[in-house]
């Protein structure tokens, strides 16, 4: 909305002109002052687009007012009200760049025409200033050493991938309609530079219509100087690849990206994960393996792990598993490598890794002599059976001597079968207790039948606390 100041030492004239302008319905913000001193003070606190002023005023006349205003607002358009005997003043006004003069008493058509012409000049000036400012902004984005002759006020920077421009620009243009801002696109990034503190990033987040916008990542900076733009822009570009990790529209700021960058410095994350997976497969602990895979991808998501690096590491893991466990599937490795490179979300990558893990599990369980893998699979599938034991397995599933099964399991895993069964049941019990199942229900679901007292004893021996205390601790930690 354009700002107009009406100045006349005669209130009846000033108010009449103000009312006349309001009647034009041009959507203008109009302020009225009754002395040049008041007008000058007001102009020093506001960026004015048009001033309509009388010439003959006491203390400071209209000419002096124009001269003083030009020092701080050189682009302001000025319309002068002239009366009888003010021709010499009019000549001086022209020397100060005044283009419009209206003879008192003011006629509506003449005032309207002068206003519309002035507004057109204001629009042209704004457009030129906007263009010059945009050139400075984009030159600074491309070259850190750019020196601007234009003074640029501090601003917020908003960035998002230009592929989402057609979906997001309508919303941003609507939201920032009243803001002092400019927008453009450079280096595959759509940007908005916002000079108004009323449109800061936190307010932006609250205004986002999450249900109407696409899955994408938006970056916003704090208030920055033009000298900070080059580095801030490049930091913002890093936010785009984080779209890989999100399921809906997400807004990130510079601090969040900085924290993510710090977390990524620990390059042991993947190496530790790979070693854990290989160890768990070797000991046929496939449920723990599934949990380890889930935890790895959750951690990557939490710290916004570099996407390309994650894809390379997942390809390395899959290639190693296929080779080490001799999974015979035509062109499987090359096909999966392509799918990994083309993956567009962390869920898709997680699925690809799990698909190979399941093939490794099947191969292990079907290998002759791999007793441990078979017994661990049976534990996972039948842990809720209160009769589950080596003797029951020998009689109903594997048809091998129970003593042989026990010795083979211990030899392959270094762990006793009963110990592994109890450990698995207790981990399942913890999950169920965290989901607010009652103790007697959990006892039955993990293979203790109608004996919750015995279940509680085993649980306490395993975890160091009773089921009731464990449930209370879980509730406290989640609050």
> Which region among 51-60, 64-73, 262-271, 311-320 has the lowest average model confidence (pLDDT)?
262-271
Distance CA 275, CA 361 (A): 17
Residue 385 or residue 179, greater confidence? 385
Instruction: Determine the pLDDT at residue 331.
Output: 66
Tell me the pLDDT tens digit for each residue of 387-434: 999 999 888 887 778 888 888 888 888 889 999 999 999 999 998 998
Query: Domains, the chain, ranges and CATH?
Result: 2-122 (3.40.50.2300), 156-263 (no CATH), 368-479 (1.10.10.60)
Asked whether 196 and 179 are in contact (CB, 8 A), the reply is yes
The lowest-confidence range among 128-142, 187-201, 338-352 is 187-201
Residue 177 in this model has a pLDDT that exceeds 90 = no
Q: Which residues contact 349 (CB under 8 A, 6 or more apart)?
A: 297, 310, 311, 314, 340, 343
Q: How is residue 300 written in tokens?
A: 């990557």
Q: What is the mean pLDDT of the chain?
A: 85
Pairing of strands 217-220, 156-161: antiparallel
362 by Cβ neighbours in 10 Å (0-12 / 13-18 / 19+) ranks as middle
Give mean pLDDT, residues 3-22: 95
**pLDDT at position 151:** 80
Write out the DSSP string of 134-163. HHHHHHHHH-TT---SS----BEEEEEEGG
Q: What is the mean pLDDT of residues 342-366?
A: 85
Look at residue 262 in the predicted model and tell me its pLDDT: 55
For 445-455, the pLDDT digits (tens) are 999 988 899 99
Nearest to 375 by CA among 402, 350, 346, 343: 402
d(CA 299, CA 269): 9
> How far is 247 from 469, CA to CA, in rounded Å?
36
Specify the pLDDT at position 99.
Answer: 82
Q: How confident is the model at residue 477 (pLDDT cuts 50, 70, 90)?
A: low
Share of the chain above pLDDT 70, in %: 91
Which two tokens mark 28? 């203008």
Pair 188, 241: CB distance under 8 Å: no
Query: Which tens digits make up the pLDDT trace of 90-121?
Result: 667 777 778 888 888 889 999 999 999 999 99
Task: Supply the pLDDT for residue 190.
Answer: 92
pLDDT at 218: 87
Predicted pLDDT of residue 200: 62
What pLDDT digit, counting tens, does each position of 453-473 carry?
A: 999 999 999 988 999 998 888
Task: Lowest mean pLDDT of 209-218, 303-312, 420-429, name the range.
Answer: 209-218
Give pLDDT, residue 176: 83
pTM across the whole model: 0.59
pLDDT of 368 = 45
Mean pLDDT computed over 321-331: 74
Q: Tell me which of 226 and 362 has the higher pLDDT.
A: 226
> What is the residue whose two structure tokens read 């205390």?
469
């Amino acid at each position: 909305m354009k700002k107009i100041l009406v100045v006349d030492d005669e209130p009846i004239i000033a108010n009449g002109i103000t009312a006349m302008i309001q009647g034009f319905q041009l959507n203008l913000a109009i302020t009225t002052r009754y002395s040049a001193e008041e007008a000058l003070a007001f102009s020093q606190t506001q960026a004015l687009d048009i001033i309509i002023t009388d010439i003959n005023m006491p203390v400071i006349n209209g000419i002096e007012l124009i001269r003083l205003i030009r020092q701080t607002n050189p682009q302001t358009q000025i319309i002068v009200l002239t009366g009888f005997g003010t021709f010499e003043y009019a000549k001086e006004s022209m020397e100060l760049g005044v283009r419009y003069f209206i003879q008192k008493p003011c006629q509506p058509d003449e005032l309207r025409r002068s206003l519309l012409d002035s507004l057109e000049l204001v629009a042209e000036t704004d457009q030129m200033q906007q263009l010059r400012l945009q050139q400075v902004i984009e030159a600074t984005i491309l070259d850190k050493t750019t020196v601007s002759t234009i003074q640029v006020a501090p601003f917020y920077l908003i960035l998002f991938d230009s592929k989402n421009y057609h979906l997001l620009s309508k919303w941003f243009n609507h939201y920032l309609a009243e803001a002092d801002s400019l927008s453009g696109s450079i280096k595959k990034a759509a940007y908005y530079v916002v000079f108004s503190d009323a449109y800061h990033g936190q307010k932006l987040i609250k205004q986002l219509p999450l249900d109407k916008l696409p899955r994408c990542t938006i970056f916003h900076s704090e208030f920055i100087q033009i000298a900070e733009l080059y580095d801030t822009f490049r930091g913002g570009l890093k936010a785009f690849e984080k779209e890989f990790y999100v399921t809906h529209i997400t807004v990130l700021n510079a601090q969040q990206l900085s924290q993510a960058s710090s977390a990524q410095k620990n390059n042991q994350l993947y190496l530790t994960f790979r070693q854990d997976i290989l160890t768990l497969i070797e000991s046929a602990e496939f449920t723990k393996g599934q949990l380890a895979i889930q935890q790895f991808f959750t951690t990557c998501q939490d710290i916004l792990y570099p996407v390309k690096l994650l894809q390379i590491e997942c390809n390395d893991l899959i290639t190693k598993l296929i080779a080490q466990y001799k999974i015979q599937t035509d062109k499987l490795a090359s096909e999966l490598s392509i799918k990994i490179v083309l993956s567009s979300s962390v869920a898709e990558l997680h699925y690809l890794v799990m698909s190979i893990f399941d093939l490794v599990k099947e191969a292990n369980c079907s290998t002759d002599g791999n007793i441990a893998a078979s017994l661990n699979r049976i534990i996972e599938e039948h842990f809720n059976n209160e009769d589950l034991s080596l003797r029951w397995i020998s009689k109903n599933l594997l048809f091998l001597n129970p003593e042989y099964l026990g010795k083979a399991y211990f030899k392959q895993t270094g762990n006793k079968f009963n110990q592994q069964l109890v450990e698995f049941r207790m981990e399942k019990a913890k999950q169920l207790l965290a989901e607010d199942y009652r103790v007697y229900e959990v006892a039955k679901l993990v293979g203790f039948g109608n004996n919750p007292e015995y279940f509680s004893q085993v649980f306490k021996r395993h975890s160091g606390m009773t089921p009731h205390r464990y449930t209370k601790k879980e509730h406290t930690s989640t609050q």
